[in-house]
Amino acid sequence: MRWEPIGKPDEVRASANMPDYDRVRREFDWAEARSQLSGLPGSRGLNIAYEAVDRHAAGERAQVTALRCVDKQDHVTEISYAALREWTNRFANVLGGHGVGRGERVYTLLGRVPELYIAALGTLKAGCVLSPLFSAFGPQPIADRLRIGQGAVLVTTPRLYRNKIEQIRAGLPQLRHVLVVGDSDAGPGTIDLREALAHADTEFEIPPTSPEDWALLHFTSGTTGSPKGAVHVHDAVVAHHATARYALDLRPDDVFWCTADPGWVTGTSYGIIAPLTHGATVVSDEGEFDARRWYRVLAEQRVSVWYTAPTALRMLMRHSPELAAAYDLSGLRYVASVGEPLNPEVVVWGQEALGRPVHDNWWQTETGAIMISNFPAEEIRPGSMGRPVPGIEAGLLERGEDGRALVEHGTVRELTGDDVEGELALRPGWPSMFRGYLHDDDRYAVSFAGGWYLTGDIAARDADGYFWFVGRADDVIKSAGHLVGPFEVESALMEHPAVAEAGVIGKPDPVAGELVKAFVALRPGHTPSDELRSELLAFGRRRLGAVAPKELAFDDDLPHTRSGKVMRRLLRSRELGLAEGDLSTLEHAG
Ligand code: AMP
């Protein structure tokens, strides 16, 4: 069943940054979008941090609040664009003072504290590559990612250092400096960042930066193998800026709150860069999700544009509408969501509880910026991800037996016509497109075929060009908006002496979308028990942190393909009580 479209009032349509989607789409070109930015003075290139900070600090917006950080105790720190310029200069000088050179990787493992923004933007000023990590990761995923990216610097807190880094540091010889944010002494081999910043020079000249210089390294997961480091360049800022203008309707006088975790791509592209390039005020909240707290932040900070995620909205929806009504949300002008399928009920609930419908949009780590979106002046079709942003061509490709786009002799077949379903693909060439997977040219190469970038998602398109998410074409799991690679989880479980083999799937969950469930075959001499189940779950949590399985079942007859891989698809079908589908590749078949 499709829900009634939600139209927009005339005054909203008229005042939107993009009042006419079809016209802007027709006339759009990336060179014009690039001209909305300043470029480094003296034609010295394009640097994300200059566009986000320094150009405002040099102009009329110097004293406007760039960052308003609410801490766990509700204390608010405000930083103007002029002050942010100085803080980020100081950070760049701290890096230089410690001999950290251009192109080296600086990782952050931080919550939403002011130093997160200072470190991220200071890193980009220095010409280093920023790689943000999810602070709820356990030691193992952190170590793997630091190793793959050859992290030279890590910025973290004393608590995270003690709990997660100390135990892995000896195995990371390339990690030369750990900068810690906090009052207590984190111990030998660490540098107190606040003290270092206090003593650093406030002036720094951003070196010439080519738009193609590496800027960001975001880790993502595939079905197999180690995590993939997707590389983005400084030119990505052109897409961050343009998409925030069209898909988030962002303006300089907005107060913008992006709730994404700083460790995921959204936390950087839209939690830091895009709103600052517009000279807006970024609100951040260090606290964890809590319905009352979030409504309070929306109301007290007078948030006007809110970018959040389906899981959070579903958690808000569990409370009565009176809760939302108790807060003054009249400042809220625009609400958008990303990261996982947004059920139509949530879009409609937004209209009722927040007074604004929720605009779903779609993108992924590799695309660097929003690709498909519902727009401010266009009707929303609840349940649909919307239409491609100006400058983006999206298509659907015919799929083969393995569920992915059918590639024959390097060519693919685009599905035209109405109401078709296939693998979602994008025409390469937009500025924030990833430029590679670090040390993994093969995996990068197979992401493209027939002139398309293949997204790994299956989608449908209706007669009016709206895209509808159908599912993933592979086995990766989306839990509470976080992409989880089953292989990484299986590998961690198999390090337990009782585990012979593991198969990990996403099990549908009404709030988190999916939760991670593991099926485990035991080694001889071990027998299933509740104690062993608890032990394995705890083992997973200790190593993996938030991406560990929440459920675990013993299964001494895991299904395998003829090539010996655990058939996750079949585990999932069995879990859901679905037809088992085509089993021709199952080892016991035929
Ligand atoms: P990530 O690279 O972690 O940002 O995850 C990207 C994946 O999240 C996409 O390939 C989709 O599978 C999923 N995703 C992102 N946005 C949406 C959305 N609006 N609707 C459905 N799935 C989404």
Ligand 1, from 342, 469, 476: best to mutate by most atoms within 8 Å of Cβ? Answer: 469
Ligand 1, from 218, 258, 347, 362: best to mutate by most atoms within 8 Å of Cβ? Answer: 362
The architecture (CATH level 2) of 81-234 comes to 3-Layer(aba) Sandwich (3.40)
pLDDT tens by residue, the chain, 590 residues: 578 999 999 999 999 999 999 999 999 999 999 999 999 999 999 999 999 999 999 999 999 999 999 999 999 999 999 999 999 999 999 999 999 999 999 999 999 999 999 999 999 999 999 999 999 999 999 999 999 999 999 999 999 999 999 999 999 999 999 999 987 677 788 999 999 999 999 999 999 999 999 999 999 998 888 899 999 999 999 999 999 999 999 999 999 999 999 999 999 999 999 999 999 999 999 999 999 999 999 999 999 999 999 999 999 999 988 999 999 999 999 999 999 999 999 999 999 999 999 999 999 999 999 999 999 999 999 999 999 999 999 999 999 988 899 999 999 999 999 999 999 999 999 999 999 999 999 999 999 999 999 999 999 999 999 999 999 998 999 999 889 999 999 999 999 999 999 999 999 999 999 999 999 999 999 999 999 999 999 999 999 999 999 999 999 999 998 878 899 989 999 998 876 655 554 554 43
State the DSSP string of 60-112.
Answer: TTTTSEEEEEE-TTS-EEEEEHHHHHHHHHHHHHHHHHTTPPTT-EEEEE--S
For atom 5 of ligand 1, the residue with the nearest CA is 364
Task: Provide the token pair at 478.
Answer: 């989306």
Q: For residues 474 and 223, what is the distance between their CA atoms, to the nearest angstrom?
A: 7
C-alpha 223 – ligand 1 centre gap (Å): 15
The architecture (CATH level 2) of 477-576 comes to 2-Layer Sandwich (3.30)
DSSP 352: I
Exposure string (b/e) for 266-298, b if CB count within 10 Å is 16 or more? bbbbbbbbbbbbbbbbbbbbbbeeeeeebbbbb
C-alpha 130 – ligand 1 centre gap (Å): 22
Q: Name the strand (E) or helix (H) holding 551.
A: strand 551-554
Q: Which residues line ligand 1 (CB under 6 A)?
A: 220, 265, 338-342, 360-362, 364-365, 385, 455-457, 469, 472, 478, 483
**What residue segments make up the domains of the chain, in order of their start?**
1-35+236-392, 81-234, 395-426+440-474, 477-576
**Alpha carbon 70 to chain centroid, angstroms:** 21
Q: How many CB atoms lie within 10 A of CB 428?
A: 13
- Name the CATH superfamily housing domain 395-426+440-474: Luciferase; Domain 3 (2.30.38.10)
C-alpha 414 – ligand 1 centre gap (Å): 21
DSSP 201: -
Looking at domain 1-35+236-392, which of 3.30.1360.30, 3.40.50.2300, 3.40.309.10, 3.40.50.12780 is its CATH number?
3.40.50.12780
pTM for the model: 0.95
Exposure string (b/e) for 115-136, b if CB count within 10 Å is 16 or more? bbbbbbbbbbbbbbbbbbbbbb
In this chain, the answer to whether the domains covering 1-35+236-392 and 81-234 adopt an identical fold is yes
Task: Give the pLDDT confidence score for residue 589 in this predicted structure.
Answer: 42
Ligand 1, from 363, 380, 468, 477: best to mutate by most atoms within 8 Å of Cβ? Answer: 363
Task: Give the pLDDT confidence score for residue 110 in this predicted structure.
Answer: 97
C-alpha 120 – ligand 1 centre gap (Å): 24
Closest C-alpha among 244, 238, 247 to residue 386: 247
C-alpha 378 – ligand 1 centre gap (Å): 22
For atom 21 of ligand 1, the residue with the nearest CA is 341
* CA dihedral angle for residue 194, residue 275, residue 111, residue 80, rounded to 10 degrees: 30
Burial of 29 (0-12, 13-18, 19+ CB in 10 A): exposed
Ligand 1, from 311, 347, 364: best to mutate by most atoms within 8 Å of Cβ? Answer: 364
Task: Provide the token pair at 36.
Answer: 């909305």
Ligand 1, from 343, 453, 457: best to mutate by most atoms within 8 Å of Cβ? Answer: 457
Please report the atom of ligand 1 found closest to the CA of residue 372: 19
C-alpha 245 – ligand 1 centre gap (Å): 21
Task: Provide the token pair at 524.
Answer: 């001889």
C-alpha 339 – ligand 1 centre gap (Å): 4
C-alpha 249 – ligand 1 centre gap (Å): 21
112 close to 99: Cβ distance less than 8 angstroms: no
**Alpha carbon 235 to chain centroid, angstroms:** 18
145 close to 131: Cβ distance less than 8 angstroms: yes
C-alpha 305 – ligand 1 centre gap (Å): 21
